[in-house]
Structures are given as C-alpha cells and as structure tokens.
C-alpha cells in the first residue's frame, strides 16, 4: 500500500528510532515531551475512558488547552501476545492522521489532530501514538445515553449524530470502527456538538460511499449498541428508529 501524502501543515521529524508527524507549530514541543514512556508519564496524566482500545493521557499545552495522547494497543485475541506492537507499512498512526485531517478538510465534524508518532523496535515492528486536541465538555455517546436524557434531548442528539455520520459517508470517508464510544457529543449547545473520532484503519474515497459501504458501517454501529447495552436499558427501539429516519432522510 502506497503511503498517502503528509497532511498540509504537518512536518516529519526523525530522531533516532522515532518518526513524528507533527503540526508545524508543535514540532519543538511534542516530540520532546513524548519521547519516552517515562517522559509521557512525567508530563501527562491518565484519563479514564469507557470502551475503545489504548491508554489515554491528558497533556497540558502552553496555549491553555490540552492534548489527548492515545497509545496504540491491540484488540481481539492477538492482544494477549503483542499488546502494543504493530508491523507493516505504511504506519497506522500516519494513516490515521491522514484520514482524520482529510475528514476535517471535507467538513466532517471530528477532533483536531496535533500529531502522530512511532518508535521503531526492529524486525519491522513499532509502537505508535496519536495526539489530538481535547474536545472540551464532550463525552462519548454511550456515556451520554447512560445518563438517561429526556426524550427531546435524545432526539436532538441522535439527529445530530445521524446527520454527522451521513455527511461523513456523503463525502467519501469510511470509518472502520464506528461505535458508540467513537462518537463524542456535547448536548448543552444548539444544535448539539458531535465529533467522530478514531479513524484508525479508515479509508478515504474520492466519491460518496456506496449503499453497501454505508450499511456495513451502520451494522457495526448497531453491533456496538447491542454489545454495550445487552439488556436494552439505555438504547430503545425508538432511538434506533429516530437515528435511521434522520440518516436516510
């Protein structure tokens, strides 16, 4: 697979066994603060997350905001053997950076990527990081649904989520792991703020997604609902109907 181009505004920095792709204004900061596991632990704090893979940490930035650092970790059965090791080219953190920035360029509501990096371990293996700006006051959709919001708020948020996903598909972005924990929402705005995150293994197409690709993405979303809410305590058939109606309208 050919490596996609480096997103506009990012530069590549190589230091010993590390390769970084960092937003230009952060090239003098992030590679130094995150060069080693000890440096990461010293400068950042762990963040509790529900669902998803990888350790998350929060790093204060000089501009008053915070960066979120996600350390790549395996899922599935293979995690028992190679928890944080990856192989193959192009590097997955780089392709996620490319997909995230291309989604932003196409006006998909997502987070601001600040950089990505890999530490090469030899034998073609590497460990990876992805760094983004924190989406302030947002929680993932699964956490929000567990708060049992009232019907008007539920309809508004589900409508915003459906429209965001529909736009993502219309502009040719395929999300490889569309699930409730990869959808961030903030319900105290009008309309609700939605961010689609985690474009690891995502694909960018020059045309809108086909009917089959859309349905494949949405089936994965439904599976996550059934997996997380096996008793049907927080997601109702009415919620699913609202989403479907708004997505396919």
CATH fold of 10-133 reads Phosphorylase Kinase; domain 1 (3.30.200)
pLDDT tens digits for 58-95?
A: 999 999 999 999 999 886 655 556 778 999 999 999 99
3-state secondary structure of 16: coil
- Residue 48: pLDDT band with limits 50, 70, 90: confident
- Residue 229: pLDDT band with limits 50, 70, 90: very high
Say if 10-133 and 139-248 have the same CATH topology. no
Note the helical H segments in 150-236: 151-170, 211-228
What are the tokens at 210?
């086909």
Predicted confidence (pLDDT) at residue 51 exceeds the cutoff of 60: no
For the domain covering 139-248, report its CATH number: 1.10.510.10
Question: Is residue 107 packed enough to be buried (19+ CB in 10 Å), middle (13-18) or exposed (0-12)?
Answer: exposed
In 10 A of CB 100, how many CB atoms? 26
Q: What is the rounded distance in angstroms from the CA atom of residue 117 to the CA atom of residue 39?
A: 14
pLDDT tens digits for 85-136?
A: 999 999 999 999 999 999 999 999 999 999 999 999 989 999 999 999 999 9
- Residue 55: pLDDT band with limits 50, 70, 90: confident
Domain boundaries, the chain: 10-133, 139-248
Average pLDDT, whole number, for the chain? 93
């Amino acid at each position: 697979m050919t490596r996609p181009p480096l997103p506009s505004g990012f530069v590549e920095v190589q230091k010993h066994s590390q390769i970084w792709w960092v937003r230009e204004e952060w090239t003098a900061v992030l590679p130094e603060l995150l060069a080693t596991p000890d440096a990461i632990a010293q400068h950042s704090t762990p963040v509790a997350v529900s669902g998803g893979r990888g350790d998350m940490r929060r790093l204060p930035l000089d501009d008053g905001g915070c960066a979120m650092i996600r350390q790549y970790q395996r899922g599935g059965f293979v995690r028992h053997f190679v928890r944080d090791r990856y192989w193959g080219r192009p590097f997955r953190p780089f392709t996620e950076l490319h997909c995230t920035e291309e989604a932003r360029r196409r006006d998909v509501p997502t987070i601001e990527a600040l950089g990505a990096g890999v530490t090469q371990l030899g034998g073609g293996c590497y460990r990876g990081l992805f760094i983004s700006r924190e989406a302030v006051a947002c929680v993932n959709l699964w956490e929000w649904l567990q708060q049992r919001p009232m019907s008007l708020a539920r309809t508004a948020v589900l409508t915003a989520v459906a429209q965001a996903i529909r736009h993502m598909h219309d502009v040719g972005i395929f999300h490889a792991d569309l699930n409730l924990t990869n959808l961030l929402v903030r319900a105290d705005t009008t309309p609700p703020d939605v961010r689609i995150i985690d474009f690891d293994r995502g694909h960018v197409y020059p045309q809108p997604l086909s009917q089959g690709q859309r349905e494949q993405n949405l089936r994965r979303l439904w599976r996550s609902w059934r997996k997380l809410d096996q008793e049907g305590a927080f997601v109702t058939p009415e919620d699913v109907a609202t989403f479907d109606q708004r997505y396919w309208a």
